[in-house]
Amino acid sequence: MNVKLSKGIPHLFLLAYVFIVLYPLFFLLNTSFKKNMQIDSDPWGLPEPFTLNNYTYSLSNSKIGIYFSNSLFISIVSTLATLGLSICIAYAITRMKYPFLSKYVYAILLLSLLIPSPSLLIPLYRMVNWLGIYNTPLGLIIPYTTFGIPLTVFVISAFLKSVPKELEEAGVMEGLSVYGLLGRIILPLTLPTLVTVFILNYLGNWNEYVLANLFLSNDNLRTLPVAVVSFFNKYNTNYGALCSSVMISITPIILIYSVLQKKIIEGVMAGSVKG
């Protein structure tokens, strides 16, 4: 059999698959530059004429900038809080000399893997109301921060177990307290792992829809995913505006992905391997 041909078959197959992945996104991009007339009459062709009207329309007709910064703010604060809380707990259970207690703490955290998120909806909703943080950013920040804790602790703990004890011993010699050990020795070493879990948590928070939809009803507090879903009804038959709005909301993340793909893939993977 022709060697070149047999080597080509996998590529043909994979290109077909890549096409299925990319074409819907290209279709979205292509449509976003078309006039509504052409979207209906000529779905496949390139934009003719090419127009940016959809973009100017959706930028001036919705608070997409506000939604964007809301998402950014809530995601970053929750992610940083998760990381701060998690590194402390991970350090305590892997390094400090309370193995018996630590085992229990770890086991309690493992329970989270069994709890389906829909089961938490109603009690969380009540709790958020009770705490008076319904319709405030805190209403999302507190649950997001907490949801990230178990996986983040697992990933950081797995890393800390591989750090040699000698480093801390040297630290103790120099008179560091346990806080100093964590802050001066462990934290810098863990930085690459922290970047990985940052990405993992950040994307989860950035993309979360159900709680964001339930806990924030004020339009000025809305996050991007909730806004994107509302576009579909808002722009009813104005498909050009719908497509441009969705494009605006995904462009930043796609740009970041094209630069940092390796780190991002690693980050998203981190959660599943350790689980």
Partner 1 sequence: MNKVLRNPLAYALFILPALIMYIAIYILPLFSSLRNSFTSWNGINEATFNGLDNFRTAFSDERFWIAFKNNITFVLFSSFVQVPIIIFISIVISGVRKFLNFYKTTVFLPSILSTAVIGTLWQFIYHPDVGLINQLLRAVGLESWTHAWLGEEGTAFLAILITNSWQWFGFYIVLLLSAIFAVPRELLESAEMDGAVGFKKSWYITIPMIRPVILVILLLSITGAMNALDIVLIMTYGEPFGSSEVMGTYLYKQAYKFNEFGYASAISIIIFVFTVLVTLIFQQIAKRTEEVEQ
Pick the stretch among 13-21, 47-55, 58-66, 185-193 that binds partner 1 (CB under 8 A): 13-21
| Member of 179, 218, 220, 259 binding partner 1 (CB under 8 A) | 179
Pick the stretch among 6-14, 52-60, 61-69, 187-195 that binds partner 1 (CB under 8 A): 6-14
- How big is the CA angle at 96 (ends 92 and 99), to the nearest 5 degrees? 95
Q: Buried b / exposed e across 135-165, counting CB within 10 Å, b at 16+? A: eebbbbbbbbbebbbbbbbbbbbebbeeeee
53 or 102: whose CB is closer to partner 1? 102
Pick the stretch among 46-54, 56-64, 146-154, 156-164 that binds partner 1 (CB under 8 A): 146-154
At 154, which amino acid appears?
A: F
Hey, which residues between 59 and 88 contact partner 1 (CB under 8 A)? Answer: 85-86, 88
CB of 161 to partner 1, least distance (A): 15
Based on the shown chain and the rule CB under 8 A, indicate whether residue 261 belongs to the binding site for partner 1: yes
Hey, which residues between 96 and 135 contact partner 1 (CB under 8 A)? Answer: 96-98, 101, 105, 108-109, 111-112, 114-127
Whole-number Å distance between alpha carbons of 85 and 172: 23
CB of 56 to partner 1, least distance (A): 21
Number of residues written out for the chain: 275
Task: Name the H helices within the chain.
Answer: 3-32, 36-41, 53-61, 64-95, 99-110, 121-130, 138-160, 166-173, 178-180, 187-207, 210-215, 224-234, 239-274
Based on the shown chain and the rule CB under 8 A, indicate whether residue 225 belongs to the binding site for partner 1: yes
Pick the stretch among 47-55, 57-65, 188-196, 204-212 that binds partner 1 (CB under 8 A): 204-212
The packing angle between helices 53-61 and 239-274, to 10°, is: 70
CB of 43 to partner 1, least distance (A): 4
